[in-house]
Structure 1
Amino acid sequence: MNEERNSAIGQELQQARLDKGLSLDDIQQSTKIQKRYLAAIESGQFDQLPGAFYERAFVRQYATAVGIDAVAFMQKYENEDAETPQPDLSAARVDADNVTRAGMHQNEETVADKTRSMMPKIIIGVVIVAIIAIIWAVVSSFAGSAKQESKNQSTVSVSTSQVANKDSSSKKASSKSSATTSSASESKSSASSSSKKASSKSSSEKKEKTAKVDLGESNVSGTTVTYDSVKAPNKAMKMQLKAEDGSSWMQVSDAAGTVLWNGTVEDSKTQEVDIPTSANGVQVSIGNALATKVSLNGKSVDLQSNNASVWHLNMNFTR
């Protein structure tokens, strides 16, 4: 947020607070935001806030506390940023030293440059042709094998018919033997099918068991709840972030600090975040914990926020 807009936001929030006859202590009590941060917002000194994530969260909570529609309020100032004219870089060019220079004549593309730019397309075309040729060869091979197998089956059928015409009693014996063999084959097939079903059911139950999450014990310190030893499956997981009775502003990072998701979950909506197998844990920052529900692989996580709005959740995985 730029300084001019920060100042305008602070003045509007301060005026709304004064119109309602509220003090900064009253706002602190209702939002759980420290008074010094509220004063910094009113004076437009957003650099005094803990970080960029908290700027939006604190401003939204302040606006709600003084009776302002937080969503419309934020959109109003976001739209003002969108109306700021952007520099025209249509005449700019990037030189070989990776420096962008505007308003300078761009050299015409040489034949060598054109050839280099066409090489990827040529390579892709050659690869496509090669793939088509391989597919055609495989299909032709299968077609030839099927034709030869059909011919062999036809020859066997003719030979069997001739033998049957010469010896009727032999045909009857063969028919009886075939029926016996077919019955045994059906019994064997039925037993095999039952075995496969049992194996599939056992595999499914084992897979479901290994996908379960055990949160273990938790402890609360300040504005953070920590689950030190979460038993997690050795595979990717899903974290569900659901907003109830209001929108919620959240950021999910892995133990190394890489941001996996950052944004706002609107009222009655659910945001699903992928947790990769390589993650040893996650850290979740929540700007409106009172309206937020969190679960991991369908396992509900107790935030234990004690009615605080801004809250943090730390989870360490044991796989």
Structure 2
Amino acid sequence: MESDYQEIGKILQDAREKLGLTLEDISSATKIQVRYLQAIENGQVDRLPGPFYVKAFIRQYANTVNLDPNTILDTKAVDDSSDDQHQDDLPNKSELKNPFIEDDDSDSNNDKKISNGPVRVGTDGIPRAGMNISFPFYKKVLARLPIIITIVVVLAAVFVVWSLSSSFRFPGASRTSISSSSASVSQKRSSASRSSRSSSSSSSSSRIALSAPTFQGNLSSMSFDDQTAHTIQVSTAGGPSWVTIDIDNIRQFSGTLPAGSSQTFNLDPNQQRFAIHIGNPARTTISFDGHDTGYSNGSNVLITNVIISRGQEGQ
């Protein structure tokens, strides 16, 4: 059984290194401590908090590196009965610590109240907050009745004043208002037409603003030479992908994009560089102002890093 877990750990480690990820990256995505991830890769599952967490942690790790956890566990013949055999090994609820959070030497930090109000305890003995006892709805309404009456009176007074002021308007005021409204509508239509033409022109220019990709190893570089804002969208299709995204060397996103999802980033006129590291390039698309960049078109290697920069000086 120990050799099975060692082989599973080797498979997970190889998949992680193939994606160019560190144990810290996996920990950030799964919220599992690094030391437990190291124990899994070394097949030392006895170092995990308990048998209860072994398969759960392996499944999370496998999903993060784009592997099927069921295939790994079934292929390596990890016996499901081991879960039943170790049920007595589970920690008591009073001693249970969160394995996703680093240990804290101060026990006083654990003596925190779950809720300021009454707490419901389930049939499994686990307390659940959120079942606070409160007053009936009608008592809440009665308590707020003076405020409601005041609001109604104020609204009624405003309506009466508006009605009286409308009845004393000069006969010519209505015609003047209609004429002014017509002129305003005409101006808005003219402005909308100019805006549409300007937007169309801007869209046409942005379509050709980005240069064709150039390659250096697994790096794809593209550039544009203007001082306007742009929108960059990263999306996935057919499978998840782990990505990290920086704008001007400031981390904007780090995690797994589920299949069929996307993240959109605005590149302001004063921002110069958009960089992305991709764990699953075959499932990842990058669009620049709504148009596919084709960042890997023409490359004979797997592109895992992409840089889009402002100016002709390069990457």
* TM-score (structure 1 length as normaliser): 0.47
Flag the structure with larger Rg: 1
* TM-score (structure 2 length as normaliser): 0.48
